[in-house]
Amino acid sequence: MSFETLTPQAGGASASPPVPRTPLISSRLPEVGMTIFSVMSALAVKHGAVNLGQGFPDFDCAPGLVEAVHKAMQAGHNQYPPMAGVPALRQALAAKIERLYGHRYDADSEITITAGATQGILTAILALVHPGDEVIVLEPCYDSYGPAITLAGGTVVRVPLNPNGFHLDLAQLSAALSPRTRAIIINTPHNPTGSVWSAADMKALAELLRPTDVLVLSDEVYEHMVFDGETHASVSAEPELAARSLVISSFGKTYHVTGWKVGHVAAPAALMAEFRKVHQFNVFTVNTPMQHGLAAWLADPGPYEELPAFYQRKRDRFRNGLAGTRFELLPCSGSYFQCVDYSRISSLPDLQFCEWLTAEVGVAAIPLSAFYAQAPERPIVRFCFAKTEATLDEALRRLSRL
Ligand SMILES: Cc1ncc(COP(=O)(O)O)c(C=O)c1O
């Protein structure tokens, strides 16, 4: 097309108006559609099913936390906070992490408040992963990791967790390391399987990575949901790992406020400096009154110290209820997810089984294949038990015929 044909015609009063046209674009994430969590939640609404699919509590947070945020708004904390987050909140987090895991992060240079863990993960990956780098994820894994790596121009290297219990398979991880490995993403307690890492697993990872420059992104959003008297193994408790890790957590999980989307990232100052370069042009800051409210709420360790027992009761209620069905219960040592093998009930693939379960039995679940690039052989679905006793009992009543 010549330049002339693009030039507006002189005296073009009679020319027809241009047809508005949205340019065709090529997708940065061609394989990504609506997440399975939204799909199953919509299906649950459509069929009036009990929604044990998406991972969020169906009960409210503590009224005192809402009051603390309300007070912050009334006190005029309604403008931009400092880029890294409200200092009082970062200081409270530094003290809490030191008390729980024995590692002191500097509140000024080593902790940043994020718009939920998901933003923390994306920002960390965009800050640290260069085009052509490899990033190892341990499958099954949370669904944001892969697209975040792709957006950074990195290559996702998938290493299976040991299918027998979904624990770290050190030999497979070791075999996947290459000179191009920039980082490994780990997650404990684990979504979707409820497995947890031990301190010995952390030591083994530290040893494996010792001769390398591989970074660790440690997704610890369920850090306060570890059961049966065990304690959470954080990378920050293992000095060698803490020195090469970004630790990500979420107030949404800890305080039953998933909709607030406030999380935090802790890392050595050199890593945090790079993280903040991206953070300031990504969200810049996270909403102010929530941060003040959370800072006040953190002063009392009670709410998070009670969380393991709180969720363990729900886990036990749910597991006991399922024990009379043909579902095979897989171990659940942490998180608020219970996985079950349904091979004694159906031979449907897991997505179709979840659709059937939602429509015909009235309970929504998430197929485990959603957490893999390629569907696993074992037929497993995930239930979320972060629900009221009434919701769990109604779900169990419906599932009891299986
Ligand atoms: C393992 C894992 N990481 C991160 C997130 C995201 O947390 P947030 O809602 O704070 O972004 C979730 C939420 O389900 C999760 O399960």
Ligand 1 center to residue 171 CA distance, Å?
Answer: 28
- Whether the pLDDT of residue 337 is over 60: the answer is yes
Q: What confidence tier does 13 reach under pLDDT thresholds 50, 70, 90? A: low
Which amino acid is located at 28 in the chain? R
196-233 pLDDT, tens digit each: 999 999 999 999 999 999 999 999 999 999 999 999 99
pLDDT of residue 1: 40
Q: What pLDDT does 2 receive?
A: 44
Between the CA of 55 and the centroid of ligand 1 the distance, in Å, is 9
* Per-residue pLDDT tens digits for 150-201: 999 999 999 999 988 999 999 999 999 999 999 999 999 999 999 999 999 9
Share of the chain above pLDDT 70, in %: 97
CA distance 394 to 362: 10
Single pTM value for the model: 0.94
User: Which position has the token pair 């933003």?
Assistant: 119
Cβ 114 vs Cβ 123: under 8 Å: yes
Q: Which two tokens stand for residue 155?
A: 């290559």
Position 36 pLDDT exceeds 90:
no
Cα(192)–Cα(207) distance, integer angstroms: 26
Regarding the beta carbon of 258 and ligand 1, being less than 6 Å apart is answered yes
The pLDDT score that the predictor gives to residue 14 is: 65
Q: What's the pLDDT score for residue 46?
A: 94
Ligand 1 pocket member 149 (CB < 6 A): no
Residue among 191, 257, 294, 368 whose CB has most ligand 1 atoms within 8 A, to mutate: 191
Are the C-beta atoms of residues 310 and 316 closer than 8 Å to each other? no
pLDDT at residue 15 in the model: 83
Ligand 1 centroid to Cα of residue 72, in Å, is 26
> Which residue would you say has higher pLDDT here, 377 or 333?
333
- The contacts of residue 265 (CB under 8 Å, 6+ apart) are 111, 112, 114, 120, 123, 124, 246, 247, 248, 272, 275
What pLDDT score was predicted for residue 3? 44
pLDDT, position 19: 93
Our mutation pick for probing the ligand 1 site, out of 221, 294, 337, 385, counting the most ligand atoms within 8 A of Cβ, is: 221
Beta strands in 267-394 (DSSP E): 328-329, 337-341, 363-364, 366-367, 380-384
The 10s digit of each residue's pLDDT in 131-144 is 999 999 999 999 99
Q: Does ligand 1 have an atom closer than 6 angstroms to the CB of 254?
A: no
- The reply to whether ligand 1 has any atom less than 6 angstroms from the CB of 250 is yes
Q: Which residues of 114-141 are buried (b: 16+ CB within 10 A; e: fewer)?
A: bbbbbbbbbbbbbbbbeeebbbbbbbbb
Helix (H) or strand (E) holding 158: strand 155-160
148 C-alpha to ligand 1 centroid (Å): 13
Q: Is 116 close to ligand 1, i.e. is its CB under 6 Å away?
A: yes
Residue 47 neighbours by CB distance under 10 Å: 17
The answer on pLDDT for 376 being more than 90 is no
Query: Which numbered atom of ligand 1 lies nearest the CA of 250?
Result: 10
pLDDT per residue as tens digits for the range 56-75:
999 999 999 999 999 999 99
**Cβ of 84 less than 6 Å from ligand 1:** no
- Residue pair 138/159 in contact by the 8 Å Cβ criterion: yes
Residue 100 has pLDDT above 80, yes or no: yes
CA dist 107 and 104 (Å) reads 9
Q: How confident is the model at residue 4 (pLDDT cuts 50, 70, 90)?
A: very low
The pLDDT assigned to 5 comes to 46
Radius of gyration of the chain (CA): 23
The DSSP bridge pattern shows strands 363-364 and 50-51 to be: parallel
Helix (H) or strand (E) holding 250: strand 245-250
Taking residues 281-299, report their average pLDDT: 97
Comparing C-alpha atoms, which of 393, 399, 313 is closest to residue 363?
399
pLDDT tens digits for range 82-92: 999 999 999 99
First CA to last CA distance, the chain:
66
